[in-house]
Amino acid sequence: MYLGFLLLLINSSIRTEEWPLWKNWWIRGILTLAMISVFFLIIYMGSFMLMLLVLGIQVKCFHEIITIGYRVYHSYDLPWFRSLSWYFLLCVNYFFYGETVADYFGTFVQRREQLQFLIRYHRFISFALYLAGFCMFVLSLVKKHYRLQFYMFAWTHVTLLITVTQSHLVIQNLFEGMIWFLVPISSVICNDIAAYIFGFFFGRTPLIKLSPKKTWEGFIGGGFSTVLFGFVFSYFLAQHQYFVCPVEYNSETNRFVTECEPSELFQLKKYSVPLLLQAVLGWETVNMYPFQMHSIALSTFASLIGPFGGFFASGFKRAFKIKDFADTIPGHGGIMDRFDCQYLMATFVHVYITSFIRGPNPSKVLKQLLVLQPEQQLNVYRTLKSHLVEKGILIQENSYS
């Protein structure tokens, strides 16, 4: 685990600036140590604080992208542009976080009558809020700026897609277990560092015109290094319940808990070593966690496809002739500059979990059953009992008159 955050420290020092070298290193070094300390503290404080961190990063990234649009078109004095942008951000967050509350806090909601109403009609309320913003936009249209206003309307919605939707997926991944949050993030950071180092020492062949400093040597070297790092890092994280257990809400203590019997993914198993490698390693079998095999897929994506998020961001900045999205972090640019690859990674991890990992969740089914009316619960009970009897799992009780 410490290796992952050491990589974060190095990654924060990659970017070169025009400042004097000694001053640049001092500022970046102090800020990096501060950020790492805060990140350690947040991990120690638990999943809820990590969710708040994701929300904060999401809002800041949205602000940086929207501000670029505002700077480009501010001279046109578009009515309500910034106000409507933030209003739509509020609406979309209300929708996504409401869905999360309904999925993971069912028992808590059942104890609050006010929340029951909000959850039951959550999607209708969300749609009504969005419609209000939509009508406000139509009413704000000015004859001489029609086309420009629709440009900015699209700008806002694409920004919402990039930031809010992706951050919601990050939180969904986090609920599956902190390891699904830490391994992908660390893999992207490792790939950035390794690609830079290999490119610096061995780079000769340009990779893509959008980023002239990127080389094929760095791309390939970074890919192999990332897969190796993800494999080793996963081994250490998989040994601790705190990182592998799904995040659940305990209604009795009103706290998030990460206690469970680790699934088969996080239990050591013996694997046979391929014959070709047996001669090299001298091992016939090896003990490893099944999750490590999945980490290869995550690390491969981080090294092959993840950088395209950075290329996309580079093209975006070149289109508007800006060097960074913002100057939030001295020496590093904006928050979006640091997380341009992470959003693609978050989407992939969520799709990967839903496609290959996640199965039916009994706890969610039980929560939904508890919401039903007593008559509906009895019907479910009778149907389930009849089904189990037919399959021979239950024995039909004889009734005596």
pLDDT value at residue 352: 95
Mean pLDDT for the chain? 84
pLDDT value at residue 7: 46
pLDDT value at residue 302: 95
pLDDT value at residue 296: 96
Domain positions in the chain are 1-259+290-365, 366-395
User: Rounded to two decimals, what is the model's pTM?
Assistant: 0.83
Identify whether the C-beta of residue 48 lies closer than 8 Å to the C-beta of residue 258: no
Highest mean pLDDT among 31-45, 161-175, 249-263, 355-369: 161-175
3-state secondary structure (DSSP) of residue 354? helix
Identify whether the C-beta of residue 241 lies closer than 8 Å to the C-beta of residue 259: yes
C-alpha 178/C-alpha 259 separation (Å) is 12
3-state secondary structure (DSSP) of residue 384? helix
In this structure, what are the phi and psi dihedrals at residue 216, rounded to the nearest 5 degrees? -65, -35
pLDDT value at residue 82: 85
pLDDT at 385 over 90: no
Q: Which two tokens stand for residue 171?
A: 């939180």
Question: Nearest to residue 335, comparing CAs of 48, 55, 30, 2?
Answer: 55
pLDDT at 211 over 60: yes
- Of the ranges 57-66, 74-83, 218-227, which one carries the lowest mean pLDDT score? 74-83
Range 55-74 average pLDDT = 87
Question: Nearest to residue 350, comparing CAs of 173, 117, 154, 93?
Answer: 173
The more confidently predicted of residues 17 and 389 is: 389
Per-residue pLDDT tens digits for 1-13: 434 444 444 454 4
- Of the ranges 122-126, 235-239, 283-287, 371-375, which one carries the lowest mean pLDDT score? 371-375
Per-residue pLDDT tens digits for 292-321: 999 999 999 999 999 998 889 888 888 888
Q: What percent of the chain has pLDDT over 70?
A: 87
